[in-house]
Structure 1
């Protein structure tokens, strides 16, 4: 599985779409074509910005580095985030 935030075309494509949308918005002599280009390019550029800013993996805890989607319910999973967080807090108190 690839990380979409590190895709090499994401930054240039987002920048080009936002620049194209800006230029289409400020062009008055083309008519309705500029409006269509503005709508398409701004949609793609806005989505690209959203991916760059918000599409990180929220499954990994920033403090402990554990996976939040594991549970210790029923079977007592030692790798669950809650158990590792408790262990991490104990280690922090010892320091």
Structure 2
């Protein structure tokens, strides 16, 4: 799996998120942490205006595994913590679902 495939998978997840009217979510970065791809995103309106009032708060990154499974990480701890926890469970989240 390459970065472009990861971006495509994450973009499919983002279109399912309800953005404020007249806005959309865009990918701002993709990184590989251990065996998991981590995709960061933000409000297009915030990125274009720079105004914090348009920023999406509490938006955990999207995790993409090698088999294209996606989950959204929590934001309480660093990404590396959630990836390690996610991978130690064999790709399951705390509620037992991928």
**Both proteins in one fold, TM over 0.5:** no
More strand by share: 2
Question: Which one has a larger percent helix, Structure 1 or Structure 2?
Answer: 1
TM range (shorter): under 0.3
Q: TM-score normalized by structure 2?
A: 0.23
Q: Which has the larger radius of gyration?
A: 1
